[in-house]
Amino acid sequence: MGNPLQPVAQMPVPASTANTYTDLNGLAALKKDSKSPQAIHAIAQQVDALFLQMMLKSMRDASAGQGEADSNEMGMYQDMFDKQVALTLSQHQGLGIGTALTRQLSNAAAAAPGAPAAGTPATGAAQGAAAGGAATGAPAAGAPGAGGAAPPAPAATSSASPSTSMLQSATQFVSEVLPTIQRAANALGVSPLGMLAQAALETGWGQRMPRTADGTPSLNMFGIKADDGWAGARAVASTVEFSGGVATQRQTAFRAYGSIQESVSDFANLLKGSHRYRNAIAAGGNAQAYVNSIGQSGYATDPEYANKLNDILNGSTLRMALNVGAKKL
């Protein structure tokens, strides 16, 4: 007898080949290679295609009562056609959802473990303050941070333990900014813990802060925006602002500083110089009251800003970072 037939090795399917909605091999390839830039782009296109499918289905349903009723076979073919059209459109311009999702997923994948904290260039593209906070010296414009463009800073709660990379970033961040924050907090008469939690939220533990045109980190610890009265350097970043509960993405200019001390001092002057933050200063050494007052003051447009501050203040990440550095407050 001749040699038995050997099974032919299955050729790997590139993630970018999911070009027809019935291509199960292409979809399976996306699962195996979900971290590569090509796969991220393809996954985002699939999401965009889902929204296009829903739009087309709604249009079909709206016109279903007009004219003669379609047969079951015709409905099936129309459904197949719509799904393929949606996928094809998503691979060209689509609705823009895929583009935004690609940017967000790419930034998340680019955040390397143990990336440098405040004072050194962060790894991802600067996307503004994390998870919704930024203020400006003008009360009418006080707020928006960037939680939408950039992945929100992971705020570990007291019941969850942070990952090793997050703890390393948080520990480095605390060691770099806490001495300066302690001096400013003592001068204001407030708890440094509250200010530290706010700086952690605004910068994603030092991993995400706006950058200047030459790529230098802005060292903007509290997401303060650069209004018309700001004569210093600026860093433009994509932010998400909330108005009437609706999130809107926009490009925003933030203040840029030459050092962490400059940033913290500017924030302290902002708190002292604005009547809207009087309750935060009146909180004194009560860190919980401080973050609640900041959340209620309108410092950020994010309606969840106070909750996010509380998650960090009462979370295990901050507690463990302080313990690792043996910081006494």
Whether the predicted pLDDT of 2 surpasses 80: no
Distance CA 29, CA 281 (A): 55
- Residue 54 pLDDT: 74
Residue type, 19: N
Find the mean pLDDT for residues 86-90: 66
Distance CA 232, CA 265 (A): 14
- Residue 68 pLDDT: 54
- Residue 154 pLDDT: 40
- Residue 119 pLDDT: 36
82: left (phi over 0), alpha (psi -120 to 50) or beta: alpha
Q: Which of 70-79, 182-191, 277-286 is least confident?
A: 70-79
C-alpha 235: how far from chain center: 17
Mean pLDDT of all residues in the chain?
Answer: 74
Contact partners, residue 281, CB within 8 Å, separation at least 6: 188, 189, 190, 271, 272
Find the mean pLDDT for residues 151-159: 41
Whether the predicted pLDDT of 273 surpasses 70: yes
pLDDT digit string, tens, across residues 17-53: 455 555 555 555 656 666 667 667 667 667 666 766 6
Whether the predicted pLDDT of 135 surpasses 90: no
Distance CA 113, CA 110 (A): 9
Residue with more model confidence, 84 or 231: 231
Please tell me the pTM assigned to this model: 0.55
